[in-house]
C-alpha cells in the first residue's frame, strides 16, 4: 500500500465547483483543486460550467482503489482525471461532508464528531443559491447529506433506498432543472461495516457505485449536450478492517484518510 497523504484536501471540492461555475469564492475557504482548474482551462478556455453533478460514494478508500484497480476501469473511462485527496479528522461521514461542502476544516464549520446538526456556515449550496442557481440533494433518509444541509432554499429528494435515489438522480438530469446536483450513495459504507471492506458483498456494492457513476455520465452525455458540466465521483473518507472481520473508519491513519476522486469536464 502506498503512503500518500495528498496535500489536496477534500475541502477543495467547494472552491473548485464555485470557480468553475464563475462564482466568487470567499477568502476563508480552501483553494480550488489546481489539477481540475487546469483541466477546465484546457477544455473550456474562458467558458464556465453551468451544470455541476457530484456523486458521493461513501468510504471508498485509496487503498481499495490501489488493490482493486481493475474495478475502477469504467470510472476512469468516464473521467478526465483522478486525484488523490486527503480527508479530515475525525474521518467520519458528517464531519467529512461538512468539510467537503463548506470548504473549511471541522474546527471552523463546527461538526467535530459523529453527529448531524444543520450547518450554519456558508456551504456550496448557499453560494450557488446566492448566485441565483438552483440546487438539489438526492440522498437516503437519515444519512448525513440528507440532514446537515437542511433549511436552504433548495430541493431535497430523500428516499428509503439507494435504488430510489439512483432513479431520481437520473430523472433530474433528464429534467435539466438544477445547476448543482449532489447525490449520496452509502451502500458500500453500510455493507463494509457489517462484512468488512473486502468482503464479496462489499465489493459488489463498490461495483454498483462505479456502475452508477457510468450511468450518470451516460445520462449527462445524452441529455446535456447544451451544457458545460463539472462531474465528480467524490468519496468522503476511507475505511479499514477491524477485529471480527467488520469494517470501520474515523482514525488518523492512511487507510481512513486517503481517498481518490474522479473528475470530468464535459464540454458542450
Domain boundaries, given as residue ranges, for the chain: 12-266
pLDDT at position 59: 97
Q: What is the mean pLDDT of the chain?
A: 96
Of 52, 228, 177, residue with least CA distance to 124: 52
Pair 15, 103: CB distance under 8 Å? yes
Express each pLDDT in 225-252 by its tens digit.
999 999 999 999 999 999 889 999 999 9
Q: Which fold has domain 12-266?
A: Alkaline Phosphatase, subunit A (3.40.720)
Please determine, for residue 132, whether its predicted confidence score (pLDDT) is greater than 80: yes
pTM: 0.96
Q: Is the peptide bond before 137 cis (omega within 30 degrees of 0)?
A: no
Phi, psi of 103 (to 5 degrees): 75, 15
pLDDT at position 4: 59
pLDDT average, residue stretch 137-147: 97
Express each pLDDT in 82-107 by its tens digit.
999 999 999 999 999 999 999 999 99
Please determine, for residue 138, whether its predicted confidence score (pLDDT) is greater than 90: yes
Express each pLDDT in 162-211 by its tens digit.
999 999 999 999 999 999 999 999 999 999 999 999 999 999 999 999 99
Q: 132: buried, middle or exposed (CB in 10 Å: 19+, 13-18, 0-12)?
A: exposed
In this prediction, what percent of the chain has a pLDDT beyond 90? 96
Helical (H) or strand (E) element with 53: strand 51-57
Please determine, for residue 2, whether its predicted confidence score (pLDDT) is greater than 60: no
pLDDT at position 1: 46
Amino acid at each position: 500500500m502506498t503512503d500518500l497523504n495528498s496535500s489536496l484536501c477534500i475541502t477543495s471540492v467547494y472552491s473548485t465547483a464555485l470557480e468553475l461555475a464563475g462564482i466568487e469564492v470567499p477568502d476563508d475557504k480552501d483553494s480550488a483543486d489546481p489539477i481540475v482548474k487546469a483541466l477546465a482551462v484546457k477544455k473550456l478556455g474562458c467558458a464556465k460550467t453551468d451544470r455541476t453533478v457530484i456523486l458521493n460514494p461513501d468510504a471508498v478508500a485509496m487503498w481499495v482503489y490501489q488493490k482493486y484497480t481493475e474495478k475502477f476501469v469504467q470510472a476512469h473511462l468516464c473521467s478526465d482525471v483522478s486525484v488523490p485527496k486527503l480527508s479530515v479528522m475525525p474521518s467520519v461521514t458528517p464531519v467529512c461532508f461538512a468539510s467537503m461542502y463548506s470548504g473549511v476544516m471541522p474546527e471552523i464549520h463546527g461538526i467535530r464528531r459523529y453527529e448531524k446538526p444543520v450547518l450554519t456556515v456558508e456551504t456550496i449550496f448557499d453560494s450557488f443559491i446566492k448566485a441565483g442557481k438552483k440546487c438539489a440533494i438526492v440522498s437516503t433518509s437519515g444519512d448525513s447529506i440528507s440532514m446537515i444541509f437542511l433549511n436552504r432554499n433548495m430541493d431535497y429528494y430523500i428516499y428509503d433506498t439507494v435504488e430510489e435515489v439512483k432513479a431520481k438522480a437520473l430523472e433530474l438530469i433528464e429534467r435539466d432543472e438544477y445547476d448543482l446536483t449532489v447525490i449520496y450513495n452509502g451502500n458500500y459504507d453500510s455493507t463494509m461495516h457489517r462484512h468488512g471492506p473486502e468482503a464479496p458483498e462489499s465489493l459488489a456494492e463498490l461495483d454498483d457505485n462505479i456502475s452508477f457513476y457510468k450511468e450518470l455520465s451516460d445520462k449527462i452525455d445524452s441529455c446535456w449536450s447544451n451544457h458545460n458540466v463539472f462531474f465528480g465521483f467524490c468519496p468522503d473518507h476511507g475505511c479499514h478492517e477491524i477485529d471480527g472481520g467488520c469494517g470501520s473508519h474515523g482514525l488518523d491513519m492512511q487507510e481512513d484518510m486517503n481517498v481518490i476522486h474522479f473528475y470530468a469536464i464535459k464540454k458542450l
